[in-house]
Amino acid sequence: MHPVSRRAKLFVVLACAAITVLYAWQSWNARRSDLDNARIASGNMAKALAQHANDTFQGIDGLLLNVVDRATMLGIGSPLVTEMAPLLRRLSEEMPALDGLLVSDETGRWIVNSSGDAHPQGNNSDRAYFIYHRDHDEPSVLIGAVLRSRSTNHWVIPVSRRINHRDGSFAGIALATIELDYFTRFYRTFDVGLNGAIGLLLRNGTLLTRQPFDEQLINRDFSDSLLFRQLLPAAPNGVHTYKSRIDGVRRMLSYQALDKYPLVAMVALSEDDALDDWHREIMVYSLGVLLLLFIIATFGRHLIGQIELRMKAERKAVAAKNELQELNRTLEMLAHQDGLTGLANRRHFDDTLAKEYRRAARGGGPLSLVLIDVDFFKQYNDIYGHQAGDECLRRVGKMLKEMERRPGDLAVRYGGEEMLLLLPNTDETGAAQMAERIRAGIQALNIVHSANPAGVVTVSAGYNSILPDRQHVPPIEELVGQADAALYRSCAISARSAGAKQRANWRRSSP
Mean pLDDT of 127-139: 91
Dist CA 252 CA 79 (whole Å): 55
Q: What does 62-104 look like in DSSP terms, one character per residue?
A: HHHHHHHHHHHHH-TT-HHHHTTHHHHHHHHHH-TTEEEEEEE
358 assigned to some structural domain: yes
Q: With bands split at pLDDT 50, 70 and 90, how would you rate the model's confidence at 510?
A: very low
Dist CA 292 CA 286 (whole Å): 10
For residue 277, what are the CA distances in angstroms to 31, 44, 68, 253? 10, 20, 53, 20
Dist CA 491 CA 459 (whole Å): 9
Segments of 82-196 assigned E as strands: 98-105, 110-113, 142-143, 147-148, 155-164, 170-179
Dist CA 359 CA 504 (whole Å): 32
Give the model confidence (pLDDT) of 449-458 as tens digits: 999 999 999 9
Residue 476 is predicted with a pLDDT of 67
Residue 470 is predicted with a pLDDT of 57
Mean pLDDT of 14-30: 88
Which domain range does residue 391 map to?
Answer: 346-508
Give the model confidence (pLDDT) of 85-116 as tens digits: 888 888 778 888 888 888 999 999 988 888 76
Dist CA 421 CA 368 (whole Å): 9
106 assigned to some structural domain: no
418 assigned to some structural domain: yes
Does an H or E element contain 250, and which?
Answer: strand 250-257
Q: With bands split at pLDDT 50, 70 and 90, how would you rate the model's confidence at 434?
A: very high
Q: With bands split at pLDDT 50, 70 and 90, how would you rate the model's confidence at 51?
A: very high
| Contacts with 222 (C-beta within 8 Å, 6 or more apart), sequence order | 201, 205, 206, 207, 228, 245
433 assigned to some structural domain: yes
468 assigned to some structural domain: yes
Q: Dihedral sign, CA of 197, 203, 206, 208?
A: negative
In sequence order, the β-bridge partners of residue 28 are: none
Q: With bands split at pLDDT 50, 70 and 90, how would you rate the model's confidence at 157?
A: very high
Give the model confidence (pLDDT) of 203-246 as tens digits: 999 999 998 888 899 999 999 988 899 999 999 999 988 777 66
For residue 141, what are the CA distances in angstroms to 49, 87, 156, 165, 229? 20, 21, 16, 17, 25
Q: With bands split at pLDDT 50, 70 and 90, how would you rate the model's confidence at 502?
A: very low
Radius of gyration of the chain (CA): 61
DSSP 168: S
Q: What does 207-224 look like in DSSP terms, one character per residue?
A: EEEEES--GGGTT-B-TT
Residue 1 is predicted with a pLDDT of 60
Mean pLDDT of 137-143: 90
DSSP 261: S
Higher pLDDT, 306 or 168: 168
DSSP 468: -
Question: For a pLDDT cut of 90, what percent of the chain falls above it?
Answer: 38
Dist CA 369 CA 435 (whole Å): 9
227 assigned to some structural domain: no
Q: Closest Cα to residue 505, out of 495, 485, 480?
A: 495
Structural domains counted in the chain:
1
Residue 333 is predicted with a pLDDT of 65
276 assigned to some structural domain: no
- Give me the amino acid identity at 251: R
Does an H or E element contain 448, and which?
Answer: none
Q: pTM for this one?
A: 0.57
As a whole number, the mean pLDDT across the chain is: 85
379: domain CATH number? Answer: 3.30.70.270
Dist CA 503 CA 443 (whole Å): 12
466 assigned to some structural domain: yes
- Evaluate if residue 499 carries a pLDDT over 50: no
- Evaluate if residue 12 carries a pLDDT over 50: yes
As a whole number of Å, the end-to-end CA separation of the chain is 68
Dist CA 437 CA 324 (whole Å): 41
In sequence order, the β-bridge partners of residue 155 are: 148
Mean pLDDT of 183-193: 89
